[in-house]
Amino acid sequence: MSTSSGKTNRRAIVSFVLSLTSAVLVIGNLVGVGGFFDDYFEVSAFLAICLSIAGAVVGRKAMRQIKETGERGSGIARVGVIIGWVFTAVVVLAIAFTLAVAASWLLTPGW
Return d(Cα 109, Cα 54) in angstroms, integer.
42
Query: In this predicted model, which residue has the larger pLDDT, 56 or 110?
Result: 56
- pLDDT tens readout for residues 23-58: 998 888 777 665 555 667 778 888 989 999 999 999
The pLDDT value recorded for residue 44 is 80
Can you give the pTM of this predicted structure? 0.80
Q: Are 66 and 12 in contact (CB under 8 A)?
A: yes
The amino acid occupying position 60 is: R
